[in-house]
A and B are shown apart, each in its own frame.
Chain A
Amino acid sequence: MKIGVFIPELLRHLFKKPATVDYPFKKLEVPRDFRGSPYLRPELCIVCRACERDCPAEAIEITAVNEAEKRFRMIIHNDRCIHCAQCVDSCPTEAMLMDDKFEISDYDRHNLKMNWEFVRAVVKPKSEPKTS
């Protein structure tokens, strides 16, 4: 039985700096690909509803406000969102993007709802070849 072989390891760790940070005062930077909350750039949205169809949490809702004027409303239920960024992948025009905020808790889940009212954009999807 060897006693005290563990002591050098313990001593070494005494002089290591802590593995944690003083969170509320010092914040870690999120990585480049961090998946925060989704948001819409309404000037690019062509209302193809790909995000609504692919969202695994059914957190995206697109309704028509006025069909004749081509006005639509998109609601993102952030209380249901699972932050998978599938909407960003599905979007053909890059109208959906993820922000990098991680302190997004709230006392009321209804405050987490975000909505945009916009006129449908006439941007050609990126995947389609340009005709002109």
Chain B
Amino acid sequence: MKFQIPIGPQHPALKEPISLRMTVEGEIIREADIRLGYNHRGLEKLAEQRTWIQNIYLTERICGICSHSHTTCYVQGVEKLMELEPPKRGLYIRTLVAELERIHSHLLWLGVAGHEAGFDSFFMYTWRDREIVMDILEIISGNRVHYGINTIGGVRRDLDDGQVKHILDSLEILRKRSEYYKNLGTTEPSFVARLAGVGYLSKEDAIALCAVGPTLRASGVPMDVRKDDPYAVYGEIPFEVCTADTCDVLGRTVVRIQELFQCYNIIEYLLKNLPAGPVAVRAPRRAKPNEVVSRYEAPRGENIHYIKSNGTDKPERLKVRAPTLGNYAATIKMLKNGFIADVPLIFAAIDPCICCAERAVSLVDVRTGQEKIISMNALKQLSLKISAGKVRKREAEWPL
């Protein structure tokens, strides 16, 4: 007996509400179909009518969590078009903010994963620690979410010694807290048991379906734009690409926790080797006719901007490929042969904002055509009920 379950389009799918149709046999998903395009904002067309400067703030608002990722990707491309060389100090500050953003995004994701797995105290702890990073970002840039630190040819705000000291002090607290998350698996076996084996994506599939970011690295593929195609100052910073070979949600959690430690190391290196000098160079208003592809490793994966200029002060074309889009195909693969109750967890594992809205999922009975609406809460209850009392993968071990 097969049933079809539509999820969405108004579903907790972050910046892009999507529609999922899943054919289920009992509790097991056999087919999944994805439909996009419900949140089309016409942003790329709008970018063609704005100047290079105005577009910085437009691209910043593509996403709230990776606001710095999109501006950096855009600004890097425009700098290439204008043949500008930003000063070293500007690039260091830009990288610093990028890494702070990665910490805040990963901490946010960890909390969401804990919440989805029914571990709400973990969710509260990580979000409390995330406030430390948000405070740092606020001190550096002035605001918590849209930092507005990038400009064409460098950054807009400089760092002083007090700020550097504050960041280093806060980093100590964060490091201590992250140690605790690292040991979490050994103290909370139920959390590990809930995540292990869910949303399996093999190494071959991850490469074939063009997965990006932690989803790809959790399948054992050490691919990271920061290492493969270093931009800004990543070429001179020592850091490692974190991978896991469990290929499931547990692996994605482990990769993100390990990346947190890499972020702390990178930030410490950046602050200790911060060169003196100006933070920005003056940018021209026009760019020569040319085209450029800019790549950036956002917390969620590889972000690509394609920019074409035609000699005026406005771009002729701006194409944005956000990392989530790269992960959709892999998500379908992950959902197949999984449980309905795992849908929130698998979705949360590719992208953190999935659970911020509580939406309805309707179960359609194929025989009668009747639709049964269940809320995200009920789905979560179902998820908890299914995993309650039994450890699905007894031999699962915390790899850290």
Distance between Cα atoms of A31 and B136 in the complex (Å): 10
Q: With CB as the reference atom, state the residue of chain A lying closest to B54.
A: A56
Contact of A35 among B50, B131, B139, B148 (CB under 8 A): B148
The dominant DSSP class at the A interface is loop
Q: B240 → chain A, closest Cβ, in Å?
A: 28
Distance between Cα atoms of A86 and B58 in the complex (Å): 12
Cβ–Cβ < 8 Å partners of A9 in chain B? 125, 180
- Determine whether B188 belongs to the interface, using a CB cutoff of 8 Å to chain A: yes
- Determine whether A101 belongs to the interface, using a CB cutoff of 8 Å to chain B: no
- Determine whether B142 belongs to the interface, using a CB cutoff of 8 Å to chain A: yes
Distance between Cα atoms of A37 and B357 in the complex (Å): 30
- Total residue contacts A-B, CB cutoff 8 A: 60
- Determine whether B128 belongs to the interface, using a CB cutoff of 8 Å to chain A: yes
- Determine whether A5 belongs to the interface, using a CB cutoff of 8 Å to chain B: yes
Known: A19-B128, A84-B148, A89-B151. A34 touches B143 (CB 8 A): yes
Cβ–Cβ < 8 Å partners of B58 in chain A? 56
Q: With CB as the reference atom, state the residue of chain B lying closest to A127.
A: B282
Q: B148 → chain A, closest Cβ, in Å?
A: 5
List residues of B (145-176) whose CB comes within 8 Å of A's CBs: 146, 148, 151, 156-157
A54-86 vs B, CB cutoff 8 Å, 1 = contact: the mask equals 111100000000000000000000000011111
Q: A49 → chain B, closest Cβ, in Å?
A: 13
Whether the Cβ atoms of A1 and B189 lie closer than 8 Å is yes
Distance between Cα atoms of A9 and B58 in the complex (Å): 43
Cβ–Cβ < 8 Å partners of B188 in chain A? 5-6
Contact of B131 among A2, A19, A54 (CB under 8 A): A19
Q: A77 → chain B, closest Cβ, in Å?
A: 16
- Determine whether B231 belongs to the interface, using a CB cutoff of 8 Å to chain A: no
Q: A126 → chain B, closest Cβ, in Å?
A: 13
Q: With CB as the reference atom, state the residue of chain A lying closest to B156.
A: A89
Distance between Cα atoms of A5 and B187 in the complex (Å): 6
- Determine whether A109 belongs to the interface, using a CB cutoff of 8 Å to chain B: no
Contact of B189 among A2, A19, A33, A83 (CB under 8 A): A2
- Determine whether A10 belongs to the interface, using a CB cutoff of 8 Å to chain B: yes
- Determine whether A53 belongs to the interface, using a CB cutoff of 8 Å to chain B: yes
B92-125 vs A, CB cutoff 8 Å, 1 = contact: the mask equals 0000000000000000000000000000010001
Distance between Cα atoms of A84 and B189 in the complex (Å): 46
Q: A88 → chain B, closest Cβ, in Å?
A: 9
Q: With CB as the reference atom, state the residue of chain A lying closest to B142.
A: A33
Distance between Cα atoms of A31 and B138 in the complex (Å): 7
List residues of A (1-49) whose CB comes within 8 Å of B's CBs: 1-2, 5-6, 9-10, 13, 19, 31-35
List residues of B (364-381) whose CB comes within 8 Å of A's CBs: none
Cβ–Cβ < 8 Å partners of B139 in chain A? 31-33
Whether the Cβ atoms of B187 and A2 lie closer than 8 Å is yes
27 interchain pairs (CB within 8 A)?
A: A2-B189, A5-B187, A6-B121, A6-B187, A6-B188, A9-B180, A10-B121, A19-B128, A31-B138, A32-B142, A33-B140, A33-B141, A33-B157, A34-B143, A35-B143, A53-B51, A54-B51, A54-B53, A56-B50, A56-B57, A57-B57, A83-B143, A84-B148, A86-B53, A86-B54, A86-B57, A89-B151
Given contacts A34-B143, A85-B148, 18 further A-B contacts (CB under 8 A): A2-B187, A5-B188, A19-B131, A31-B142, A32-B142, A33-B139, A33-B141, A35-B142, A54-B51, A54-B54, A56-B54, A56-B56, A56-B57, A84-B57, A85-B156, A86-B54, A86-B57, A89-B156
